[in-house]
Structure 1
Amino acid sequence: MIKDRIREDMKAAMRSHDAARLSTIRLLLAAIKQREIDEQIESTDDDILAVIAKMVKQRRDSVEQYRAGGRDDLAQNEQAEIDVLQAYLPQALTDDEIAAIIDEATAAVGLTGMAAMGKVMALVKPRVNGRADLGKVSALIKARLTA
């Protein structure tokens, strides 16, 4: 399980006195634990991947804002956290792979136009979760359905 790997990485970061990595891993474990408490569940790997993807997205947004504000020092800290978190995500999908998944889902739904957006997204989301930015996927689906 991913959770076990995260815990082992936390121990390794403690042993190597890697404070930045340790801090990020502790934040991740806290976010996972918070989700488990809020939803009263035991997290699966898919749940953990969703938490990690959300944290990466938040940090990417922060990097953009910090750079726009001229705070490159803070942007570098956020980027370092992104690098640690991405180690737990599966290999990212290429644009061609995403397009193929969208094409399959569109064919399965059998509808065209924006009326099919929700149904196509419902089919695509589980297949790309943690492996692609859902905002980008949504934009690609819109482009495909309106073309």
Structure 2
Amino acid sequence: MSVLKKRITEEMKDAMRAKDKQRLGTIRLILAELKRIEVDERIELDDARVLAVLDKMSKQRRDSIAQYDAADRKDLADTERQELEVIQTYLPQPLTTEELTQLIEDAVTASGASGMQDMGKVMAIIKPQAQGRADMGAISGLVKASLTK
């Protein structure tokens, strides 16, 4: 079992003992998604894959929050925000703008990228280092800007 999955399972037990229903519900959602993937793909998830799942779940929550806010459904948006807070406790510290810029510069140099046709190479280098620490869509925009200079 991955270290991160084990930590989530232990925190589920702590939430049960503390009778923290909202946190417990979100942790159960996380574990259910991890279990679904393990059963569907017949694999044991490693930490990198667990991070990818958590990153996807947090992105889904951010999208839902935006839609609920646009529809003036504050109650549903608040629920999603609370779930997002719990999910983010398992994600690593977000990259600062300076770290992100340096990461992109290093990836462009390492891949020898000379234009937009090399964007895939650059993103392949960045993704494992930035997974769960930054929005990949935002990184993609920054890489495009860097390659079109």
Q: TM over 0.5, yes or no?
A: yes
AA in 1 matched with 2:100? I
Corresponding residue number in structure 2 for 1:30: 32
Q: Tell me the residue number matched to 1:129.
A: 131
Q: C-alpha separation between the residues in 1 aligned to 2:42 and 2:132? A: 22
TM norm structure 2: 0.96
Query: 2:89 maps to which residue?
Result: 87
* Structure 2 counterpart of 1:46: 48
How many Å apart are 1:15 and its aligned residue? 1.0
1:33-53 CA-partner distances (Å, limit 9, x unpaired): 111122221111111111100
Q: Distance in 2 between matches of 1:115 and 1:5?
A: 41
Identity %: 54
Superposed, 1:90-129 pairs within 5 Å as: 90-129=92-131
Counterparts of 1:99 and 1:59, CA distance in 2? 26
Q: Could you give the per-residue CA deviations for residues 62-91 of structure 1, whole angstroms, max 9, x where no partner exists?
A: 000000010111111000000000000111
d(CA) in 2 for partners of 1:124 and 1:12? Answer: 35
Alignment: residue pair count? 147
Q: CA deviation at 1:111?
A: 2.3
Q: Which runs of 5+ in 2 are unaligned?
A: none
Cα distance in 2, alignment partners of residues 115 and 52 from structure 1: 30
Deviation of 1:133 after TM superposition, in Å, equals: 0.8
What do residues 15-37 of structure 1 show as CA deviations (whole Å, max 9, x unaligned)? 11111111100000011111112
Q: Which runs of 5+ in 1 are unaligned?
A: none
Given that residues 58 and 87 in structure 2 are in contact (C-alpha distance below 8 angstroms), is that contact kept between their aligned partners in structure 1? yes
User: 1: CA distance between counterparts of 2:134 and 2:141?
Assistant: 12
1:106 match: secondary structure: helix
Q: What is the rounded CA distance, in whole Å, between the counterparts of 1:118 and 1:16 in structure 2?
A: 46
* TM score, norm. by length of structure 1: 0.97
Q: Runs ≥4 in structure 1, deviation > 2 angstroms?
A: none
Give the structure 2 partner of residue 75 of structure 1. 77
Q: Which residue of 2 aligns with 1:18?
A: 20
Counterpart residue number, 2:5: 3
The RMSD of aligned alpha carbons is 0.8
